[in-house]
Amino acid sequence: MDAHVAQLQMQYRNYILSLYQQGFLDDQFTELKSLQDDGSPDFVAEVLSLFFDDCVKLVGNMARALDQTGTVDFCQVGANVHQLKGSSSSVGAKRVKGLCINFKELCEAKNYEGCVRCLQQVDIEYKTLKAKLQDMFNLEKQIVQAGGIVPQVDIN
Amino acid sequence: MATTSTGDIEKTKSVEVKKKLNVLIVDDDTVIRKLHENIIKSIGGISQTAKNGEEAVNIHRDGNASFDLILMDKEMPERDGLSAIKKLREMKVTSMIIGVTTLADNEEERKAFMEAGLNHCLAKPLSKAKILPLINNLMDA
């Protein structure tokens, strides 16, 4: 096997494992990967693109709802958090999902400062995940361009 | 079975047209609709989507819709899952309906959702492993 391809594949395996170990991803991401095949070769990229579009929209909605000069509609904030929790859990975005669970509790408690802080964390976290997954896709591209196959990574 | 002149048994292939599982996916989230579409596709089914309960009901209004299975989210704008299920059952829709919700672990919510007319309830996120046993039972029935 070409040494360069083997090195890239090893780098890829280690990178994927680190994403799970550091809590960025969970088993649901493995499920997403398993649904990608010759019939849906870009499935993971497509779903993630929809997810990150969702993040932009929902974080924007939450920011506007929390930026009210009058009474904050915590129900509206909570509804957006609920939606983000659903989509983050569906793609295996573990840290984002975890933040949404806390965020929902803060909305129910009508904790304004807590909600604002949590929203900032959600914003940072989804952008961090997006950058990490972009690096993952770049590694996949490098492997394919070098003539190799993207390896399946056993996370167990 | 036909035998050839040499006496070998020629197995006749039974040609079976297997009906594709036809699923309606009802969820207000684009990510979840895409995920569920692919899960259904991966098990050889076909699907149509609706963004909320009202769309799901409207799809059935002309009486021509025929789904083997409906995957129904609970919390949606315009018409939520509970209301949509009740309406569909009033309209004599007999499809298997599986409720898919993040509130599945809350027993009281789950009970109310089931009593609206569900056949089963599953917690998000859906996976092939979760849904396949229910679909196998449906296809065997």
CB B67 within 8 A of CB B140: no
Bridge partner residues of B26 (DSSP): B50, B72
Residue A1 — very low, low, confident or very high, per pLDDT cuts 50/70/90? low
What pLDDT shows up at residue B134? 86
What pLDDT shows up at residue B6? 40
User: Quick check: B139 pLDDT over 60?
Assistant: yes
Bridge partner residues of B24 (DSSP): B48, B70
CA distance B76 to B50: 11
The four Cα atoms A41, A42, A44, A50 give a dihedral, to 10 degrees, of -150
Tell me how far apart the terminal alpha carbons of chain B are, to the nearest angstrom: 29
Q: Which CATH architecture has domain A3-141?
A: Up-down Bundle (1.20)
Judged by DSSP in three states, A144 sits in helix
DSSP per residue, A60-129? HHHHHHHT-SS---HHHHHHHHHHHHHHHHHHTBHHHHHHHHHHHHHHHTT-HHHHHHHHHHHHHHHHHH
A interface mutation test: which of B26, B30, B31 has the most A CBs within 10 A? B31
- Is residue A88 packed enough to be buried (19+ CB in 10 Å), middle (13-18) or exposed (0-12)? buried
CB distance A86–B42 less than 8 Å?
A: no
With beta carbons under 8 A apart, name residues in chain B contacting A82. Answer: 75, 102
The DSSP symbol for A41 reads T
What pLDDT shows up at residue B103? 55
What pLDDT shows up at residue A106? 97
CA distance A142 to A37: 19
Interface of B with A (CB under 8 A): 28-32, 34-35, 38-39, 41-42, 75, 102, 124-128
User: Quick check: B90 pLDDT over 90?
Assistant: yes
Residue B124 — very low, low, confident or very high, per pLDDT cuts 50/70/90? confident
Top pLDDT among A131 and B6 is at A131
CA distance A95 to A58: 16
With beta carbons under 8 A apart, name residues in chain B contacting A28. Answer: 125, 127
Domain boundaries, chain A: 3-141
CB distance B35–A90 less than 8 Å?
A: yes
DSSP per residue, B40-68? HHHTT-EEEEESSHHHHHHHHTTS----S
**Closest by CA position to B50, among listed B24, B76, B31:** B24
Q: Which residues contact A67 (CB under 8 A, 6 or more apart)?
A: none
Alpha helix ranges (H) inside A25-69: 27-34, 43-66
The four Cα atoms B79, A88, A124, A154 give a dihedral, to 10 degrees, of -170
CA distance A92 to A81: 16
What pLDDT shows up at residue B10? 38
CB distance B125–A89 less than 8 Å?
A: yes
Instruction: Write the pLDDT tens digit of every residue in A75-113.
Output: 999 999 999 999 999 999 999 999 999 999 999 999 999
Domain spanning B22-140: which superfamily? Response regulator (3.40.50.2300)
Rounded to a whole number, what is the largest CA-CA distance in chain B?
70
Instruction: Write the pLDDT tens digit of every residue in B51-81.
Output: 999 999 999 998 888 999 999 999 898 999 9
Q: Which residues contact A152 (CB under 8 A, 6 or more apart)?
A: A33
Span of A32-36, A37-41, A81-85, B106-110 with lowest mean pLDDT? B106-110
Q: Which residue does chain B place closest to A88, by CA atoms?
A: B31
Interface of A with B (CB under 8 A): 28, 31-32, 34-35, 37, 39-40, 43, 46-47, 50-51, 53-54, 82-83, 85-87, 89-91
Which of A32, A37, A87 is closest, CB to CB, to B32?
A87
Residue A70 — very low, low, confident or very high, per pLDDT cuts 50/70/90? confident
B interface mutation test: which of A90, A94, A97 has the most B CBs within 10 A? A90
With beta carbons under 8 A apart, name residues in chain B contacting A47. Answer: 31, 34-35, 38
What pLDDT shows up at residue B138? 74
With beta carbons under 8 A apart, name residues in chain B contacting A54. Answer: 29-31
Instruction: Write the pLDDT tens digit of every residue in B1-57.
Output: 343 444 443 344 344 445 689 999 999 999 999 999 999 998 889 999 999 999 999
What pLDDT shows up at residue B141? 63
